[in-house]
Structure 1
Amino acid sequence: MVRQKKAPAARRRPMSREEALARQERQQRRRELEQESRELAKGPIDLPFFILVMLLTGVGLVMLLSASFPSAYYETDGQNPMSYFIRQGVFAIMGVAAMLFIGKINYQRFRGLAKPLLYLAVILLILVIVPGNPLAITRNNATRWLGIPGTSLQFQPSEIAKLAVVIYFADSISKKKDRMQTFRYGIAPYAVLLIVLAALVGIEPHLSGAILIMGAGAVMMLVGGIHWRWVGLAMGAAGLLLYLVLGVIGYNASRIEMWHNPWLDPQGAGYQLRQSLITIGSGGLWGVGLGKSRQKFLYLPEEHNDFIFAIVCEELGLIGATVIMLLFAALILRGFWIALHARDRFGSLMVVGVMTLVGLQTFLNIGVVTGLLPTTGISLPFFSYGGTALSIQLAEMGIVLSVSRQMKPTKAG
């Protein structure tokens, strides 16, 4: 048997002198940028943004203490009415420490987390929906949490998925520039990824989480340079999908009906929204006073969680609630101001993604509590009970502070 000789491997064309010089210049430029980034990373954080974060965290803890102690008293048989507040306070301290630590890191290092964090998020989202998984936790007919056996530590993988989308999109989009205008490179890969993640979250079911992931990703794609026509098509497709889910398939149809008129079933499906509206109306202009809410005494469901803003309205009134909404608006606007003055596209896109999450989540929560939107499970950033969620939110604020250290200089006045 005659053996055939292997064809010689194709040799690479030797690099010309001009190409070698160009490569050396690119490498030198990259080293200079890395050195410049390391020097700029030692700059000061954006103080107004930091103060706003601490204000909202502090006020959120005070309102959580006020809203949660009746439920905590009842659940612990009067032994520890501050149990919710203490646990939230511990996670707040951990979150602030994480925010300050992350704020000192050169944000260019976050590029290395883009793919590993995305893979981790997908794995965790799959674990949540695997039938019979002992780590999965079900509440109110929704399986959205994973817990560590033998401990009280629980978290929602969707929180990690939101952060993963922000970092991965920022890293990938910042490298493409003009190619974001094309369907193959600028639309298809990101749209498929968003659909997969949103589908995994929606199966739990967690409609609000899916909306947050889709919303943050879409805004980052728009800022990254996709054409407006793709935005219009995406909004049309999202509207059609929402109509099919809510109107045709009938997902949470009772919630839609009770949203239109909660008094159709005041003791059943419409009870939560009805009690929320009563709670808000009870506050009037100035409120009944901090700590003096009546509806939190087991009348309003989820008073320390998704519907804590209703307690804010009752105790602080329209004036106090408006001040808190203005604090959220100031935080979001300041975040986007940092994005506008970021040193590069990667930092700018990360801040846009983080602040879109905060802004969209705040709007959805307040919209649900006030009856502007159908009732769905979504928390109020910095206020609602949930230690791991608060820690992750504060860690995301650390990313914004890290980018703020390397902002472009602005003209005074």
Structure 2
Amino acid sequence: MKGYTMIRKYTPSRREKPESWLHQYWRRLDKSLIFAAILCSGCSILLLFSIWQNGISDAVGASYYRTQLFSCLLGIVCVGALSLIDYHKIAKLWFIYAPIALVLTCLCFTALGQRREGADDQAWLKIGSFQFQPSEVLKLAFILTFATHLSKDEENMNKPLHMLLLIVHGMIPTGLIALQGDYGTAIVFAVIFLGMLFTARISWKYVLALLITIPAALFAAWNFILGDTHKQRILVLLHPGTDPENLEYQQDRGLEALSNGKIFGVGLFSGEDAYVSVPEIHNDFMFAQVGQALGFVGAIAVVLVLAFLCLKVLYDGYRAKDSLGLFLCAGVFAMLFIHCVMNIGMVLKVAPVIGVPLPFISAGGTATVSMYVALGLVVSIYSQSKRKNRHR
């Protein structure tokens, strides 16, 4: 009409329309990290199914690959749930999960504690038909509480009293696990502690003091802590073939299985006669089965995926929006890295057999779920950093 101006209703273009919640969630998800973990779990489930089908180990039944599949699915759900939660809120709940983790670990010293067949440590709890390893829960609790401690005390950490409190914080879980006889996991705790401490820029004076005390600590451990079996496992690495109790048998079989795969492996379903049987091949020596079934090419591929996982966690820590996120990623990186190095070192016979599983590859429900939970914390950190960058 004349004298009036038509008012056109404004409709935002496709680019201007606000993103849906699901789209925002997907965009902020660390998809490459999750995919790498699922790839490793898929390899683990397939190898466990292969071990059962081929009858390579009498100890491995159908329940192993099913448990691994269930643990993987549960772990993915945990990652999805944790990615929705701000890691600061998780860290603030330390007064709930830290005491629970400590109590569960201490229960291993009671009648509820179990010693698995062939193991030297009493590190398992059995409640009814359910069996799990509390040290896996304690690892997560320690990473969270120590990261919180460091972030709150970052400016004063190099003062003597503050450093003493940090050392006590690290010694409590490490000492508890060592008292169980699980020295492999105790080393993992020590590496996590040192990795996070160095990330927090510890003074060079403390680094020098640590280097000076290492020889004394090794002397004390050799003479007063390690048992004869543990000492023998170290000595056979230096002097192969001198073991009267044949403790190196497992590692010799592991190397034989690894070399049996040659370049491309003997395959997943070649029949029992095609494989070399190794004690605990489904657990501590799963990397030997990787090389045996998938060959040198498959073993290298697994190492590369695990290396990507470790480096991606480290990169996500570098991109974190605050020191708490950085320290959490440093702890998860240290845990993944030392597990990989110690486990592959056992199979290659350059490290003693100390019962440390290969992340996402070795059979074990508790270990698998705990690794996924650790990745869930990293994904939460990644998501929060992406959100921060979005609003810059």
**Fold similarity call, TM over 0.5:** yes
Residue aligning to 2:42 = 58
Residue aligning to 1:87 = 67
339, 360, 369: which one aligns with 2:317: 339
Task: Label 1:215 to 1:319 Cα distance change in 2 as closer, same or farther (>3 A).
Answer: same
Residue aligning to 1:396 = 374
Matches within 5 A, 1:97-116: 97-116=77-96
Shift of 1:267: 7.4
The aligned amino acid for 1:111 is A
Shift of 1:262: 4.4
Matches within 5 A, 1:332-371: 332-371=310-349
Pair 1:212-2:212 in alignment: no
Do 2:33 and 2:309's aligned partners in 1 also have CA atoms closer than 8 Å?
Answer: yes
Cα displacement string for residues 94-131 of structure 1 (whole angstroms, at most 9, x for unaligned residues): 1111111111111111122223322222222222123x
Do 2:255 and 2:349's aligned partners in 1 also have CA atoms closer than 8 Å?
Answer: yes
163, 170, 177: which one aligns with 2:140: 163
Question: How far apart are the structure 2 equivalents of 1:196 and 1:296?
Answer: 47
Pair 1:242-2:218 in alignment: yes
Pair 1:304-2:288 in alignment: no
Residue aligning to 1:200 = 176
Task: Label 1:209 to 1:235 Cα distance change in 2 as closer, same or farther (>3 A).
Answer: farther
Deviation larger for 393-402 or 233-242: 233-242
Pair 1:182-2:162 in alignment: no
3-state secondary structure, aligned to 1:177: coil
Cα displacement string for residues 235-266 of structure 1 (whole angstroms, at most 9, x for unaligned residues): 44345323432366553122122223443348
Pair 1:221-2:182 in alignment: no
Question: How far apart are the structure 2 equivalents of 1:87 and 1:220?
Answer: 32
Cα displacement string for residues 298-345 of structure 1 (whole angstroms, at most 9, x for unaligned residues): 831000000010111111122211111011111111111110011111
Do 1:293 and 1:314's aligned partners in 2 also have CA atoms closer than 8 Å?
Answer: no
Q: TM-score, normalised by structure 2?
A: 0.85
| Count of matched residue pairs | 362
3-state secondary structure, aligned to 2:125: strand
Do 2:284 and 2:362's aligned partners in 1 also have CA atoms closer than 8 Å?
Answer: yes
Do 1:313 and 1:320's aligned partners in 2 also have CA atoms closer than 8 Å?
Answer: yes
84, 92, 104: which one aligns with 1:124: 104
Cα displacement string for residues 266-307 of structure 1 (whole angstroms, at most 9, x for unaligned residues): 873221111111111212222222344858968310000000
227, 234, 240: which one aligns with 1:256: 234
Task: Label 1:42 to 1:323 Cα distance change in 2 as closer, same or farther (>3 A).
Answer: closer
Q: TM-score, normalised by structure 1?
A: 0.81
Do 1:43 and 1:406's aligned partners in 2 also have CA atoms closer than 8 Å?
Answer: no
Question: How far apart are the structure 2 equivalents of 1:272 and 1:249?
Answer: 24
Long gaps (5+) in structure 2? 1-23
Question: How far apart are the structure 2 equivalents of 1:295 and 1:205?
Answer: 36
Shift of 1:154: 1.4
Question: How far apart are the structure 2 equivalents of 1:239 and 1:162?
Answer: 26
3-state secondary structure, aligned to 1:407: helix
Task: Label 1:73 to 1:303 Cα distance change in 2 as closer, same or farther (>3 A).
Answer: closer
3-state secondary structure, aligned to 1:327: helix
Question: How far apart are the structure 2 equivalents of 1:405 and 1:310?
Answer: 36
Long gaps (5+) in structure 1? 1-39
Shift of 1:69: 4.5
Do 1:113 and 1:167's aligned partners in 2 also have CA atoms closer than 8 Å?
Answer: no
Do 1:64 and 1:383's aligned partners in 2 also have CA atoms closer than 8 Å?
Answer: no
Pair 1:145-2:129 in alignment: no
Residue aligning to 2:149 = 172
Shift of 1:392: 1.2
Question: How far apart are the structure 1 equivalents of 2:273 and 2:142?
Answer: 38
Matches within 5 A, 1:1-40: none
Question: How far apart are the structure 2 equivalents of 1:322 and 1:293?
Answer: 24
The aligned amino acid for 1:311 is Q
Do 2:113 and 2:125's aligned partners in 1 also have CA atoms closer than 8 Å?
Answer: yes
The aligned amino acid for 1:343 is K
